[in-house]
Amino acid sequence: MTGRLDGRRILVTGAASGVGREIARVFAAEGAALALLDRNAEGVTQVAAAVGGRAHPCDVSSFTDAAAAVKAAVDALGSLDGIVNAAGILVMKPFEELEPESWHQMLAVNLCGPYNIIRASLQALRQAQQGTIVNIASVSSYLPMPGSSGYSASKAGLVMFTKCLALELGPRIRCNAVCPGVVRTEMTRYIWENPEHSQRAADRTALKRLGNPEDVAYAALYLTGPESGFTTGTEITVDGGFSWH
């Protein structure tokens, strides 16, 4: 590793598993001081111990929870230089079977969660020399698929939210999104655990494989590090060529 994040203090949500956990690992290896949030208290504590970060159990869908966790993170780290919003949930069902509870929960975690964390962190980020926000969205934000109405709506909202924040918070704070395709996490276990479904999904990509959490983590690293200093208000698609052919 090259120490690209030396001296930077980064908050990562959804850090107990999947993409969030891998972002924590990669960012720690690059020298970042980390505040790790997840509603899975045991899981996030284990990840924090493994990477040398600080664990803050938190339900990002609650502004009260988010504000308390952000305050604890700022107190522990001294301030914040960046955020990666990786917490997310997925419920795949045809619209007529999608219960109101699932619809509202996806919006609460996938869209309101980043709002809650960023809003609570704004004062600290404005004190950073170069603040960064990375929101983990999805190719579902612009690629409609059957059964994904609630998830796609939440992620499409997150992408537009990202663009609006880039305009409003610049030039001091940059805000970008990463849009993964099918990545091997608990969220997509129903795909990659089934050989037939996994092969079908891989065959739809140009690279003929499913994504891994580190594929997304390195995109988030780029958008958090100095190499992307003239990049804001955009999204990087990390899907192996799934969505453009």
Residue 178 CB-density burial (10 A; 0-12 exposed, 13-18 middle, 19+ buried) = buried
- CB 174 within 8 Å of CB 132: yes
Antiparallel, parallel or unpaired: β 235-238 and 82-85: unpaired
- CB 216 within 8 Å of CB 180: yes
Token pair, residue 163, equals 């663009």
In the chain, which ranges are continuous DSSP H helix?
A: 18-29, 41-51, 63-77, 100-107, 113-126, 149-169, 189-192, 195-203, 213-224
- Is 151 noted as a catalytic residue in this protein? yes
Look up residue 113 and give its amino acid: G
Q: Considering 142, 151, 218, 222, which one is annotated as catalytic? A: 151
- CB 216 within 8 Å of CB 183: yes
Query: Residue 84 and residue 133: Cα distance in Å, rounded?
Result: 6
Which residues contact residue 120 at a Cβ distance below 8 angstroms, ignoring those fewer than 6 apart? 63, 66, 67, 69, 70, 71
Query: Residue 215 and residue 240: Cα distance in Å, rounded?
Result: 10
Active site residues: 151
